[in-house]
Amino acid sequence: MEENTNTTPSNFIRDIIEDDLKTGKHAKIHTRFPPEPNGYLHIGHAKSICLNFGIARDYKGQCNLRFDDTNPTKEDVEYVDSIQEDVKWLGFDWEDRMYYASDYFQKLYDFAVKMIKEGVAYVDNSTAEEMKNQKGTPTEPGTNSPCRERSIEESLDLFERMKNGEFEEGAYTLRAKIDMASPNMHMRDPLIYRIKKATHHNTGDEWCIYPMYDYAHPLSDWFEGITHSLCTLEFEIHRPLYDWFLDVLHLENRPRQIEFARLNLTYTVMSKRKLLELVTEKYVSGWDDPRMPTICGLRRRGYTPESIRNFADKIGVAKRDAMTDVALLEHGIREDLNKRAPRVMAVLNPLKVVITNYPDDLTEEMETINNPEDPSMGSRKIPFCKEIYIEQDDFREDPPKKFHRLYPGSEVRLKSAYIIKCNEVIKNDKGEITELHCTYDPETKSGGSSTRSVKGTIHWVSARHGKKAEVRLYDRLFVIEDPSSHEELSFKELLNPHSLDINENCFIEPELAKAKAGDKFQFMRMGYFCVDPLSTDEKLVFNRTVGLRDSWAKLEKKDS
């Protein structure tokens, strides 16, 4: 028996696997991740990827990547490529085991012929409406199709002619002969094959009949020697059909389907259809919009693969559907970036400060550490001069109690620089504050011998040396926890109007101009940010990954 040496928390699936290894039912564990190449993967798929590949890793088994490409009208190479990129980015490797359900089209066809010959499948020419009526209801049995007793010879002939392209779409289907009175609607003579005259991304125009998922799924698992076929809960009711196909084809060493709860995340939607609507109707800029729960969207927003893998471990695997708070995902990326992201200074809403007693032509290099959590990251120097920018929120002309930042007559320490005192507030004709005049104490340079201290420390950027940048402040996509649950409003009417606020007037440390796409930073006191892939030397663009703390928790507490 292969020992599980990983620290991933146990769950009911791992308990089953442990038992199967202990009893000798399986010598090796073999799983698979079988996405449909009809869209981009989201965080729910990431949970499944981590589960399937993680189990294979922990039990020294194997995990295949298999594309469930049985519907050529909805699939595209674009999705195939993006899925591979996402799985690799998450840190998993299928090695040489990338397959397509379409790789097995001939085998699936041959098995279908065998089923016809054994009298457990038949060709039907009922219309879609007629088949719908034949199905019955969950409380009433269905009725047999007039074609159900079609001879084996005639069904074989028609099925071959279907394959040869002699009939139009919808003219004929192949159905399994099971039980039209079954309490499980999926067992009421389900479709096995239908005609689709569409070019397939992998097989071209070789086929014009395509197998249904419920048929292709168990047999593809069997072809690949899968031991544990892990699916989300909506497939639980399909399991009797999964087993039925394996039974009637007399297949041994068969896979076992096990269902687990899918991921439902607050303040977003996980339905592919709804996500597609957001993209096609331009509520978001694309599948990789950083507000989307897609893996490529999370990557662009600045999430790390480590944070997503840790999130998947923390939420665990359950047998019942539940809603997971997105705050747990946000906490994970904060925890990860806190250890690895350099601390830098950026002023999002600048207010100019003129240090009146500082020499006009002097520039000093102030040394500051890159990350107090990791001394090995060292330090850097940032320029300081007579004019700097601070955050507008760090000054109040009429401050509230316990306001330890800048106000008339107060003193604050500039991070890694000096203590300054606000002496004068300059306003324009409209009464708006345009700049502050302050003085500095030259004896209080950070790292010096001065013991003088003040309560507040604020960040700053040199007005002379700082670089301008665009900052995109991303937030949760919807204003309520479960946008799919609202009885009166469409989910699109519940979009957060401030899910993206763009600030084009940010100033950053000059060294940040050298940052590359994907580089991650903590903007001191502002949050975690990363360089957008579309950022250029001429236009620097930073995406906010997450704030330093959960501002929504405060709002919810205030509203309650």
Tens of pLDDT along 306-358? 999 999 999 999 999 899 999 999 999 999 999 999 999 999 999 999 999 99
Whether the pLDDT of residue 5 is over 60: the answer is: no
The CA distance from 89 to 547, in Å, is 24
**pLDDT, mean of residues 251-258:** 96
Whether the pLDDT of residue 1 is over 60: the answer is: no
Whether the pLDDT of residue 550 is over 80: the answer is: no
CB 139 within 8 A of CB 184: no
- 232 forms beta bridges with 260
Catalytic position from the list 163, 196, 272, 340:
272
Q: Which of 390, 386, 399 is nearest to 360 (CA)?
A: 386
**CB within 8 Å of 108: residues ≥ 6 apart:** 211, 215, 216, 219
**pLDDT, mean of residues 163-171:** 97
What pLDDT does residue 560 have?
A: 41
Tokens 């295949």 belong to residue: 64
Instruction: Let me know if 556 is a catalytic residue.
Output: no
What pLDDT does residue 449 have?
A: 87
User: For 265-307, how does the pLDDT look when each residue is reduced to its tens digit (9 = 90+)?
Assistant: 999 999 999 999 999 999 999 999 999 999 999 999 999 999 9
The one-letter amino acid code at 195 reads I
Q: What percent of the chain has pLDDT over 90?
A: 94
549 or 162, higher pLDDT: 162
Whether the pLDDT of residue 164 is over 90: the answer is: yes
**CB within 8 Å of 500: residues ≥ 6 apart:** 291, 472, 473, 474, 475
**pLDDT, mean of residues 396-424:** 96
**CB within 8 Å of 303: residues ≥ 6 apart:** 333, 545
Angle, vertex CA 315, rays to CA 311 and CA 318, nearest 5: 145
Q: Which of 30, 33, 92 is nearest to 61 (CA)?
A: 30
What pLDDT does residue 551 have?
A: 64
CB 264 within 8 A of CB 67: no
What pLDDT does residue 207 have?
A: 98
What pLDDT does residue 431 have?
A: 94
Mean per-residue pLDDT of the chain: 95
The CA distance from 489 to 493, in Å, is 6
What pLDDT does residue 558 have?
A: 46
Catalytic position from the list 177, 262, 309, 343:
262
Give the tokens for residue 229.
């076929």
The CA distance from 229 to 40, in Å, is 22
Q: Classify 513 as helix, strand or coil.
A: helix
What pLDDT does residue 10 have?
A: 84
Whether the pLDDT of residue 557 is over 50: the answer is: no
**pLDDT, mean of residues 69-91:** 97
Whether the pLDDT of residue 525 is over 50: the answer is: yes
Tokens 């005192």 belong to residue: 421
What pLDDT does residue 384 have?
A: 98
CB 186 within 8 A of CB 235: no
**pLDDT, mean of residues 103-130:** 98
Q: Which domains does the chain have, with CATH numbers?
A: 12-260 (3.40.50.620), 272-342+469-559 (2.40.240.10), 346-459 (2.40.240.10)
What pLDDT does residue 6 have?
A: 55
**pLDDT, mean of residues 52-70:** 97
Give the tokens for residue 501.
């606020």
Instruction: Let me know if 365 is a catalytic residue.
Output: no
Query: How many Cα neighbours within 13 Å face the side chain of 516?
Result: 0
Number of H helices, E strands in the chain: 13, 27
Strand 209-211 to 191-195 pairing:
antiparallel
Catalytic position from the list 2, 18, 36, 160:
36
**pLDDT, mean of residues 150-161:** 98
What pLDDT does residue 514 have?
A: 94
**Beta strand segments in 385-432, E:** 387-391, 411-414, 419-427
Q: Which of 543, 501, 492, 45 is nearest to 294 (CA)?
A: 45
CB 257 within 8 A of CB 32: no
Please report which confidence band the pLDDT of residue 553 belongs to, taking 50, 70 and 90 as the band edges.
low
CB 332 within 8 A of CB 528: no
What pLDDT does residue 3 have?
A: 46
Please report which confidence band the pLDDT of residue 552 belongs to, taking 50, 70 and 90 as the band edges.
low
- Core vs surface per residue 321-355: b (16+ CB within 10 A) or e: eeebbbbebbbbbbebbbeebbbbbbbbebbebbb
User: For 420-437, how does the pLDDT look when each residue is reduced to its tens digit (9 = 90+)?
Assistant: 999 999 999 999 999 999
**pLDDT, mean of residues 193-220:** 97
CB 247 within 8 A of CB 219: no
CB 119 within 8 A of CB 177: yes
Instruction: Let me know if 470 is a catalytic residue.
Output: no
Q: What percent of the chain has pLDDT over 70?
A: 97
